[in-house]
């Protein structure tokens, strides 16, 4: 039984449409789950709630938490925004707006499009609202049985606004719609949420302005700010970080507010460290620093340590120069496909090499998996299970056969080429195995979101790297075009650390052309309000 804080209790109370701003480590998932469980107790058997999360993994975790205590979630929806739009709006109601049949409608990523469809889809990539011109293109794709993935939220909004049957169905079935990570919503997603709330469904948005890091995807924290000011929404804050050592939480909070009230801490667990040399030299230095840290803190395992970097270039330096056992988390050739076949192959490989990855994780990727007949479901389970007995040498032939059978899609030459690259690379295949205790974890700051580690070593804190910098009109001018997003990313990195956080800048840096330049500490390391909240050391000493 969780002992909720007063802030958490206030957020859990029923109070109509609500905005919850929750800091890292604040227990927001526990709060959302308890709020949903409480709501489900009073609903009729045919009623439920909609709970939308950023990833399938997060939605599965939330659903499992909501089921505890014998809560009935059968009539509720748990999933991503795209899966909600497809299953609850577009598949059942798009034909009522556009005519024809949506029975065999197929959502497609860029890589899934035919050569005839690609020029049409290109025009739709940055769409937020459907106008007459975009509607004609969407209708043309629809007539071919295609929905372009980037248009899904905007198209769902169009259907919801123009189909009374859709609005009545959602209002009869769902009493509330919960959306997590709202700071990373797009304009189309935000407008769809407001449209659903305006139709009479209670809206609950949960997010953190300081964790908005996907601006390059056209997501914006401004939509969360708008909800916080919007009439009809109550704003609650869950502000205590239960994850991080108080000194780490203090440092992180002072990034945004130099006068932020500090929590009492019995020690300082944040270090600003100057490493001699470039990013490449820093990677080499970690081979001696990390064993010394583990010897001094013998309760930590190597897997408790994460090395976080700004970009894939520094990740490459770690791959080439870290001699300690480590796991490099980076996108491989299959990830780069962004196609249904690629997503399915990734799941199959994860199931093949990671015993904790379940059969259901794979099956839920199949189209209409929830409505498969018993015979087809048994056959699909057998096909997926078989991969655990397939030798690595035969993966290149088995995966295309499995995807052709279960997805009914013939793999393209580009997909087969990507598969060959991965299955022939032991390091690439290693990424699909479960992490072992003796492996340090290395990843970009973006990939670390949602994770936590005992120790975080945050590299790349040099000018021109983070924050990203552009040349000014004259020498000495400093122009940081992405200051807010980069500061949020820095904040995310720091707040992954539970016990120790080491912030590293180097005396030199390698630029994009691999040229050695003088290194200067990141402007983030000298923000007002940070003095006295960290210790320093140089390495090698």
Q: Element (H or E) spanning 353, and its range? A: helix 340-353
- Residue listed under structure tokens 């049949």: 101
Query: How far, in Å, are 119, 120, 342, 452 from residue 115 at the CA level?
Result: 8, 10, 19, 43
β strands within 23-173, DSSP E: 48-52, 77-79, 106-108, 146-148
Domain boundaries, the chain: 6-85+159-238, 101-153, 246-325+436-539, 335-431
Tens-digit pLDDT profile for residues 498-530: 999 999 999 999 998 999 999 999 999 999 999
Beta bridge partners of 176: 49, 202
Percent of the chain with pLDDT over 90: 80
Alpha carbon 211 to chain centroid, angstroms: 11
* Span 1-11, average pLDDT: 90
* Span 489-504, average pLDDT: 98
Q: What pLDDT is stored for residue 103 in this prediction?
A: 77
d(CA 122, CA 119): 5
* Span 309-337, average pLDDT: 93
Task: Please check the confidence at residue 102 and state whether its pLDDT lies above 90.
Answer: no
- Residue listed under structure tokens 């990740």: 315
Asked, colleague to colleague, whether 6-85+159-238 and 246-325+436-539 share their fold, the answer is yes
* Span 186-198, average pLDDT: 97
| CB neighbourhood size of 531 (10 A) | 10
d(CA 470, CA 137): 38
Tens-digit pLDDT profile for residues 81-98: 999 999 999 999 999 999
Burial class (CB in 10 A: 0-12, 13-18, 19+), 162: middle
Q: What pLDDT is stored for residue 1 in this prediction?
A: 61
43-57, 321-335, 362-376: range with lowest mean pLDDT? 362-376
Q: Element (H or E) spanning 177, and its range? A: strand 174-179
Q: What pLDDT is stored for residue 408 in this prediction?
A: 87
Query: How far, in Å, are 218, 248, 337, 451, 488 from residue 446 at the CA level?
Result: 15, 19, 19, 10, 10
pLDDT class of 77 with cuts at 50, 70, 90: very high
DSSP string, 449-463: TT--EEEEEE---BT
Query: How far, in Å, are 111, 313, 414 from residue 333 at the CA level?
Result: 13, 16, 10
Alpha carbon 455 to chain centroid, angstroms: 21
Q: What pLDDT is stored for residue 316 in this prediction?
A: 94
Q: Whose CA is closest to 492, among 210, 303, 205?
A: 210
d(CA 436, CA 453): 14
- pTM (2 d.p.): 0.91
Tens-digit pLDDT profile for residues 166-188: 999 999 999 999 999 999 999 99
* Span 8-16, average pLDDT: 96
| CB neighbourhood size of 353 (10 A) | 17
- What superfamily would CATH give domain 6-85+159-238? P-loop containing nucleotide triphosphate hydrolases (3.40.50.300)
d(CA 52, CA 63): 10
d(CA 521, CA 86): 47
Task: Please check the confidence at residue 68 and state whether its pLDDT lies above 90.
Answer: no
12-21, 360-369, 485-494, 501-510: range with lowest mean pLDDT? 360-369
Q: Whose CA is closest to 12, among 36, 44, 35, 45?
A: 35
Instruction: Decide which of 287 and 121 is more confident.
Output: 287
9-23, 286-300, 470-484: range with lowest mean pLDDT? 470-484
Task: Please check the confidence at residue 344 and state whether its pLDDT lies above 80.
Answer: yes
Q: Whose CA is closest to 535, among 255, 266, 273?
A: 273
Fold (CATH) for 246-325+436-539: Rossmann fold (3.40.50)
Q: Which residues have C-beta within 8 Å of that of residue 370, sequence separation ≥ 6?
A: none
- Residue listed under structure tokens 């990833």: 55
Q: Which residues have C-beta within 8 Å of that of residue 43, sequence separation ≥ 6?
A: 49, 75, 175
pLDDT class of 439 with cuts at 50, 70, 90: very high
Residue 503 structure tokens: 């912030």
Q: What pLDDT is stored for residue 370 in this prediction?
A: 67
């Amino acid at each position: 039984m969780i002992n909720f804080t007063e802030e958490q209790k206030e957020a859990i109370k029923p109070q109509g449409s609500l905005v919850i701003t929750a800091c890292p480590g604040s227990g927001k998932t526990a709060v959302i789950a308890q709020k949903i469980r409480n709501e489900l107790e009073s609903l009729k058997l045919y009623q439920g709630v909609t709970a939308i999360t950023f990833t399938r993994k997060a939605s599965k975790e939330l659903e499992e938490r909501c089921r505890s205590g014998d809560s009935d979630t059968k009539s509720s929806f748990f999933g991503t925004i795209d899966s909600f739009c497809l299953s609850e709006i577009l598949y059942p109601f798009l034909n009522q707006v556009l005519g024809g049949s949506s029975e065999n409608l197929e959502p497609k990523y860029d890589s899934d499009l035919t050569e005839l469809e690609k020029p049409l889809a290109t025009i739709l990539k940055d769409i937020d609202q459907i106008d007459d011109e975009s509607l004609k293109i969407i209708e043309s794709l629809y007539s071919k049985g295609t929905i372009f993935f980037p248009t899904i939220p905007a198209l769902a909004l169009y259907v919801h606004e123009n189909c009374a049957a859709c609005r009545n169905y959602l209002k009869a079935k769902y009493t509330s719609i919960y959306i997590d990570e709202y700071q990373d919503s797009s304009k189309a997603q935000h407008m769809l949420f407001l449209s659903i709330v305006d139709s009479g469904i209670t809206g609950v948005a949960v997010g953190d302005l300081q964790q908005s890091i996907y601006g390059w995807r056209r997501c914006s924290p401004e939509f969360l700010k708008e909800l916080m000011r919007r009439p009809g929404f109550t704003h609650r804050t869950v502000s205590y970080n239960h994850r991080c050592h108080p000194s780490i939480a203090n440092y992180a909070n002072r990034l945004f507010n130099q006068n932020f009230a500090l929590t009492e801490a019995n020690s300082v667990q944040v270090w600003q460290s100057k490493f001699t040399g470039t990013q490449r030299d820093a990677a080499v230095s970690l081979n001696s620093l990390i064993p010394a840290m583990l010897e001094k803190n013998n309760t930590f395992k190597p897997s408790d340590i994460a090395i976080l970097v700004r970009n894939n270039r520094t990740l490459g330096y770690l791959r080439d120069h870290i001699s300690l056992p480590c796991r490099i988390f980076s996108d491989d050739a299959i990830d780069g496909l962004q196609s249904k076949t690629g997503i399915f192959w990734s799941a199959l490989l994860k199931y093949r090499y990671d015993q904790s990855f379940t059969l259901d994780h794979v099956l839920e990727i199949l189209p209409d998996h929830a409505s498969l007949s018993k015979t087809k479901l048994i056959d699909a389970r057998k096909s997926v299970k078989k991969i655990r007995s397939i030798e690595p040498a035969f993966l290149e032939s088995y995966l295309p056969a499995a995807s052709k059978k279960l997805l009914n899609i013939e793999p393209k030459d580009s997909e087969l080429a990507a598969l060959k690259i991965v299955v022939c690379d032991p390091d690439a295949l290693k990424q699909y195995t479960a992490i072992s205790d003796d492996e340090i974890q290395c990843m970009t700051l973006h990939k670390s979101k949602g994770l936590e580690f005992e120790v975080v070593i945050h590299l790349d804190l040099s000018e021109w790297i983070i924050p990203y910098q552009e040349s000014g009109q004259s020498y000495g001018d400093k122009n940081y075009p992405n200051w807010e997003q980069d500061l949020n990313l820095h904040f995310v990195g720091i707040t992954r650390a539970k016990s120790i956080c080491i912030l590293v800048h180097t005396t030199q840096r390698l630029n994009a052309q691999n040229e050695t330049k003088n290194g200067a500490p990141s402007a983030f390391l000298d923000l007002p309000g940070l003095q006295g909240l960290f210790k320093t050391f140089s390495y090698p000493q």
